[in-house]
Amino acid sequence: MDNINFTSLREISRRIHARDLTSRELIETLLRHIKQHNPRINAICIIDAEGALKQASEADAALARGESTGALHGIPFTVKDTFATKVMRTSFASPLLRSHVPDFDATMVERLKKAGGILLGKTNLPMFAFDWQSTFWGRTNNPYNENHVVGGSSGGSAAALAAGFTPLEIGSDIGGSLRIPAHYCGVVGFRPTERSLSDFGHITPPGSPKMLRSMITVGPMARNVDDAKMLLELLWGYDDRMWQNPPVPLQNTLTVADVPLKGLRIAYSSTIGERKVSRDTERVFSTLLVRLREQGCTLIEKAPADLDTKRATDDALDVWGRLMTMESLTEIPAMIPKSLIAPFLAAFHYANFRGGSASLVKGLFQSPRGFAHVLDRRDAIVQATERFFDEVDIWLTPTAAHAAFPHVRMGTPLKIDGATIPYTEAHAPFACTTVLQATPIVTVPIGMSSDGLPISVSVHGKRWQDWRLLTIAEQIEKLGTGFVPPAGCLE
């Protein structure tokens, strides 16, 4: 079989529907590949090989009768272990729920199945989905270099895609949890307009109220932008179980001919908030800017909500941290007084995030009135960003300060070209501040570091113009390397 492990999702769909490839052949090939490589990468933490093969045979029989369930007919997929999966263990990254089995599917899982997808397994993540490393079901290693991290919290998702274990994934993002892993593993991660996709069934521990209502966004992950577009069409749409998810139609008729690169007004920031980035990141980003100029783009060095300044970036991080901890407190059981749990969490945040812990700690002790003021501050950021995108087509930024870093204990300072920076500084200024804007963001691999690790660019667009953004990003993808299969997973 011609390297089906790294074939695009759209091509797999075409071949299955043309009956050039059976679902069972595909899944058997993936299972052999997973058996060979997952023990050293540890991206997939839960797998149902027997169930997937049974469904594959049924899908093949249906297609032989001329029956197709949709674009994903007979195609296997994996999802992050924060999504409820019916009859398959779902931990929600909680030590108390390692053996929990939901009786329903999250909306995103349900829609993939409705399109004909076959759930193969679940992917690894950090405990409580709160870190930029994935270690809950054991450490996940980067397919390009096993001594390096895969990112988090959708780290297992990105690693499974990069390693060729699955042709599609669904991740989630509140502080770069989808984009950072995509960057570290050289795949495409798409954080759509906030509230555009339903997160029903995501992080839903039994008996707990819904947490994280302000910033959390679920989204597709794939190995190229075209596959992400294919998934977005399947996932988009109103869900009556999540009324906050408005019934806005997906404007999916635009093509490259409608929004060519030539003539686009592209804002860019070589860093965010005056933070240091690696020489490799500077090199790859600068090379992309040169190629965009050659394509006839107008480049403007400018950032929304003044994120080119340290002051505005620090203020945005303060807003993010306060919202994050205020809303995550809802997960704490009611019988535990806040006066007892808040100091414990404050100590945890300080021990693990040090310099980035101040806003997280402030959120723990915030009053309801203070919370409302923080929401007002976020409103101002969204409004400023809306005005910004009235003047430019997209905004380009690095996704993080550097390529994937070596495995370390959470909170350990990191190195950029020999200089030490706080653990949070490599990610939070780039990923947490941009969450607040509520805009669609796609992370696209465009180059490699000097030591062979992927480097991506993040392409930001105006709210509710998700398809337009992806259509532009699809062209930017072609100016760089795109996805490059890790050498160690090709055999």
Residues labelled as active-site residues: 80, 153, 177
Three-class secondary structure assignment of 175-206: CCCCHHHHHHHCCEEEECCCCCCCCCCECCCC
- Return the structure tokens found at 15: 């071949």
DSSP secondary structure string for all residues of 268-326: E-SSSTT----HHHHHHHHHHHHHHHHTTPEEEE--GGGTTSHHHHHHHHHHHHHHHHH
Cβ of 63: how many Cβ atoms within 10 Å?
A: 20
403, 409 Cβ separation under 8 angstroms: no
DSSP 8-state assignment for residue 487: G
Q: How far apart are CA 368 and CA 106, in angstroms?
A: 30
- The reply to whether omega before 153 is within 30° of 0 (cis) is yes
63, 26 Cβ separation under 8 angstroms: no
Let me know if 39 is exposed, middle or buried by CB neighbors in 10 A (0-12, 13-18, 19+).
Answer: exposed
Q: How far apart are CA 489 and CA 108, in angstroms?
A: 28
- Return the structure tokens found at 55: 């469904």
What is the distance in angstroms between the CA of the first residue and the CA of the last residue of the chain? 12
Let me know if 252 is exposed, middle or buried by CB neighbors in 10 A (0-12, 13-18, 19+).
Answer: middle
